[in-house]
Amino acid sequence: MTDSEKVDVFIEKQTQWKEKLKQLREIISQTELKEEVKWGKPTYTLNGKLVVGLAEFKNHMALWFHQGVFLKDPHKKLVNAQEGVTKALRQWRIEPKDAIDSKIVLLYVEEAIANSKAGKELKPVRKKEVTIPPLLKQAFEKDATLKANFQKLTPGKQREYAEYIAEAKREATRQNRLEKSIPMINNGVGLHDKYKNC
């Protein structure tokens, strides 16, 4: 099945958003963007870079601009869906009663294309290096296997353990946290893994 056929199927499955999705798809098809499917949703790319996406929710649907932070937003349509978390992504929320003005949508999409061509891109900031607290360093000096197992963990899991031990205010608490962490580290388990699999 081609991406275009997958988008056809996605739209046909919709109930309340079918017509609005068709309308937005028609507008975007006037541009040079390539229609693809990513994360099960219609997505539009330029030279392999994500530019625009469509998504449906319970109370609204959205036109996603992957580098929307650079859009001028003259009609005040864009919101940051996760303030403080999302850096580049911006969302234009469309509710059932909203009319879609094709000229305005095209204006935003064409600006997003121009920004992509100009190389405007907010790249994700890589997390800082893992700072190993003194107590954990001492444990590594005594136990080479513990150190080796710690180094096999992902940087995120390493950071979780390091911060968990370091942020305890009392020495006794830091020691207890270290003792609790050692068997988990040796088993290759992240500190919060049991919550992530719920």
Q: Per residue in 17-66, pLDDT tens?
A: 999 999 999 999 999 999 999 988 999 999 999 999 999 988 999 999 99
What pLDDT is stored for residue 127 in this prediction?
62
Nearest CA among 124, 120, 141, 123 for reference residue 132: 141
**Domain stops at, among 117, 147, 164:** 117
Domain that holds residue 179: 134-196
Measured in degrees and rounded to the nearest 5, phi and psi for residue 78 equal -95, 145
- 81 with 169, same domain? no
Assess whether pLDDT exceeds 90 at residue 128: no
Tell me how many domains the chain contains: 2
Ramachandran area for residue 9 (φ above 0: left; ψ -120 to 50: alpha; else beta): alpha
Q: Per residue in 154-191, pLDDT tens?
A: 888 999 999 999 998 999 999 999 999 999 999 999 88
- 40 with 82, same domain? yes
The predicted model scores a pTM of 0.64
Q: Per residue in 104-120, pLDDT tens?
A: 999 999 999 999 999 99
Considering the domain boundaries, does residue 124 fall inside one? no
